[in-house]
Amino acid sequence: MTDIKLKNTECIEKPEKITTRDLSKMWLRWWYANEIPHTFDRMIAPSFLWAITPILRKLYKCKEDLKEAYERHIQFFNTQCNWGGGTILGITASLEEARAKTIAEGKRDEAVGSDAINATKVGLMGPLAGIGDAIDSGTVQYILIAICLPWAQEGSLFGALIPWISFVVITYLYGFYFVKLGYTLGRQAAVQLLGGTNIKRIINGLSVLGIFMMGILAASYVNVKTPLAFTISGKAFVVQDLLDKILPGILPLITVLSVYVYFTKKGLKITQALLWLTVVLGVLGAAAIL
């Protein structure tokens, strides 16, 4: 009888308060172990569980509830580290806290259900991963590389290290911001990320900046010139000099636009595009046109 009373008291014990330090620890564990225990059947669910475990232990004082939470978060899960993982971690911590508090009040039937928590995670992991991959891997990373590329060309070690270090620091900081946003707003955080005006402005701004950087790279590092020259009435005309007076960099621009048109019509077939580019430029080079 005494054991039963102790067990019941343990199960209705109030959960501990979740602090910013707890959220920071959760984010650090997730960020560190994101891809380490990657499996085909669960993907990165073990990373998610390991990250949120300290919070679950503060929330659930009943072993059965804690066990159920462990089982809930070891199920299949896969998303992008910062935008997806950060936001979903924060939202999940918020939902688990709400569930634990309701259970501690003796209202288990009214608590947020396991199915609702899992449905929220699964429903958000795809859309948020798409945003994160496009911005982190497709924009921010290449902007940093483009900024430091001249240093690398000069043989400076900083040209290789600074993009990597900057990317790690920047993504870590705004990833933690997404954790706090998710925890504070709950499910509304996803609405703000997916449909919020400020986020759309950030994405559009980064996209425009990325296009500018790609244009700068194309103009600076795509080197296409023509050696053609001809003489009229004893006066020599160099075609490249004429082109530079009309529009400097017109040949690199034509090359880049040709590749863009190819991708538009044939799809993103990078290997084929490189092969065709090599063949065409090789033939034009052999003919002394380029």
**What confidence tens digit (pLDDT) does each residue in 117-149 have?**
888 888 888 878 877 777 787 778 878 887 887
Residue 188's pLDDT is: 62
pLDDT at 260: 77
Max avg pLDDT among 10-24, 44-58, 196-210: 44-58
Q: Over 50: is that where the pLDDT of 186 sits?
A: yes
Range of weakest confidence among 32-41, 136-145, 195-204, 229-238:
195-204
Q: What is the pLDDT of residue 204?
A: 64
Residue of higher predicted confidence among 231 and 220: 231
pLDDT band of 201, cuts 50, 70, 90: low
Tell me the three-class secondary structure of the chain, residue by residue. CHHHHHHHHHHCCCCCCCCHHHHHHHHHHHHHHCCCCCECCCECHHHHHHHHHHHHHHHCCCHHHHHHHHHHHCCCECCCHHHHHHHHHHHHHHHHHHHHHHHHCCCHHHCCCHHHHHHHHHHHHHHHHHHHHHHHHHHHHHHHHHHHHHHHHCCCCHHHHHHHHHHHHHHHHHHHHHHHHHHHHCCHHHHHHHHCHHHHHHHHHHHHHHHHHHHHHHHHHCCCCCCCEEEECCEEEEHHHHHHHHCCCHHHHHHHHHHHHHHHHHCCCHHHHHHHHHHHHHHHHHCCCC
**Residue 71 clears pLDDT 80, i.e. is over it:** yes
**Per-residue pLDDT at 251 exceeds 80:** no
Answer yes or no: is pLDDT of 5 > 60: no
Please state the domain extents for the chain.
2-215, 226-286
pTM of the model: 0.67
